[in-house]
Structure 1
């Protein structure tokens, strides 16, 4: 648990035991960043801030969907950021926030063990580096929360950009006919679709959460933070729109691939049908004469040659007719 006091032009680090005194100060606001909400962390948050037990429970477990719970003196928000794992799987990286008038508590929810331990902390650490370098000086807890959430939307945009680059590569393979292994190619198509759908879902739900926050009374969201909440809604909406557009584009690539595959299969079926039609007379003749023209010392060579010549003429005639019809 990292405890910091954010003041104009200054950022100081403190211990959890100093929280009561820090919350009583009026020259800044408190930022508490919790890597894992275990029992000790939950105890500190409950005693120092008086957070609701249900909110602390949500902060300690994995939540599949975003949430928002307004309380008389703060707002509890759950969001997700994307992370690409092995074989195109998209991990949901949870970030919980307790946003109060003079404090921000960020809690990094439990993640899949396959996710590197530094991934959930990237957005808060990026913002922390900006504060430490003097490039960002948040004046309120809502402004700091806005910066962290904006980092999440930028990550979502980056993920859409990465998937789009993969979609373009797949489209080039489809149009050029360089598909390689069909099963592997289909796997790549559906992985790209899964990535776009996952990011789109995160953005859509995040926008809905902040849209709900924009309607909360002033006691929960102060007037000077309303424009920040509105801007976050716009950011999530932009990511959702871009992801929707790229998903439709990818669907067009998939449909083109299916049409091309269906066309190839239709052509193959037509050619097989022509082959069957050409060989059918040969099969009929050989079925009739097969038992009567056994090749042996008693074979009538002239008769055998005549039958074979008849088969060749019939096959050539049918093949020529199929070519004139455009079937071959």
Structure 2
């Protein structure tokens, strides 16, 4: 469990601030083309996390940070491609980049607004891919209000000369992934499609780690529900915990299931923007998606069974309580009846003036009560 948590742990890096001399808030910088709104408010970092040119799989180092316009111009002049990473850009921040790279307005709108389902859309000169990232939320104990999974989004624009990522959410940083790719120039030399595969593989590997962690939570709940000595556990809390976990699994399912079709298309259909050598690797990603999808569907069905079993146990426990109450009521009815009869103000009552009448009546009442108790206990009512 600790190893899985270490795999899920990710550090959210600080984003570098681009120089204002090259990227102004309004207007255009001399020789840089369209203006880019690089800051939402004064003093806050830019939405652009990183912008670099890669040639033959190697990052082109420059003395100063490149603007998207400068990076694209360098890629077209000397070859290679541009990789731009953004985090939660506003419409104003992204409009200039979208115009510079010729991104389709519908895809741009989806990238800015977020809250999209996983999908793959093909346009004339680019591919638009949406991934849902999943982060497992650590918790000491699963409660009725515990947040188990947290979702984010990564939108990818893939072109011949560029690759643009737009990330939403507080987790799912791609900085470590970028560094790993930079350490593998042979792979990165395949172009933007290699980056798309790396991100898809990275996201799906995150699904696998989260699936193992969710499995642990489900096993814990299942053990508690079916443990022999759980009569003292509050059944209302159990049902609420199971239902909360089921809702979190449903959110997980919404992130995984729609991704199966896009990965299948990327692995089976030839596409102009996907290198044939890279396309083979998408098959492995597609297989992993299907495997996680089957796991999540199994989680959902298992939680349904656990919830039904828990409700059935609660119903049986209530029936047992009602049987005990009914049994004790039957026992108490005997002395109640005797007291009711002898409490009436009649002159002629059985054995009313006999010296041993009272002990006799009490003895008979006790014997009857003991007989009823033994009979009900033998039949499992007590």
On whether the aligned pair clears a TM of 0.5, the verdict is yes
Match of 1:103 among 162, 165, 187: 162
- Cα distance, 1:181 vs structure 2: 3.3
Cα distance between partner residues in 2 of 1:326 and 1:12: 82
- Cα distance, 1:222 vs structure 2: 4.8
Whether contact under 8 Å (1:130, 1:136) holds in the other structure is no
Gapped regions of structure 2 (runs ≥ 5):
1-47, 138-144, 347-351
The farther-off stretch of 146-155 and 75-84 is: 75-84
Cα distance between partner residues in 2 of 1:79 and 1:70: 15
Aligned to 1:240: 293
Cα distance between partner residues in 2 of 1:232 and 1:26: 33
- Cα distance, 1:150 vs structure 2: 1.1
**Alignment of 1:131 onto 2:146:** no
3-state SS in 2 of match to 1:162: helix
Aligned to 1:4: 52
Relative to structure 1, the CA distance from residue 161 to residue 288 in structure 2 (aligned partners, 3 Å threshold; closer, same or farther) is: same
- Cα distance, 1:162 vs structure 2: 0.8
Whether contact under 8 Å (2:249, 2:296) holds in the other structure is yes
**Bigger fraction of residues in helix:** 1
- Name the count of aligned residue pairs: 314
Relative to structure 1, the CA distance from residue 181 to residue 8 in structure 2 (aligned partners, 3 Å threshold; closer, same or farther) is: farther
Aligned to 1:165: 216
3-state SS in 2 of match to 1:87: coil
Whether contact under 8 Å (2:68, 2:97) holds in the other structure is no
Gapped regions of structure 1 (runs ≥ 5):
112-116, 294-298
Aligned to 2:233: 180
TM-score, normalised on structure 2? 0.73
Relative to structure 1, the CA distance from residue 211 to residue 133 in structure 2 (aligned partners, 3 Å threshold; closer, same or farther) is: closer
Whether contact under 8 Å (2:51, 2:67) holds in the other structure is yes
- Cα distance, 1:9 vs structure 2: 4.9
RMSD value over aligned CA atoms?
2.8
What do residues 81-127 of structure 1 show as CA deviations (whole Å, max 9, x unaligned)? 12345722533201111111232110013x4xxxxx4x14x2x1221
**Alignment of 1:140 onto 2:191:** yes
TM-score, normalised on structure 1? 0.83
**Alignment of 1:306 onto 2:360:** yes
What do residues 215-242 of structure 1 show as CA deviations (whole Å, max 9, x unaligned)? 6663354544432333332221111012
Aligned to 1:43: 95
The farther-off stretch of 141-150 and 86-95 is: 86-95
Q: What are the within-5 Å matches in structure 2 for residues 1-328 of structure 1? A: 1=48, 2-12=50-60, 14-25=66-77, 27-84=79-136, 87-88=146-147, 90-109=149-168, 111=169, 117=170, 119-120=171-172, 122=173, 124-134=174-184, 137-138=187-188, 139-174=190-225, 175-178=227-230, 180-213=233-266, 218-292=271-345, 302-328=356-382
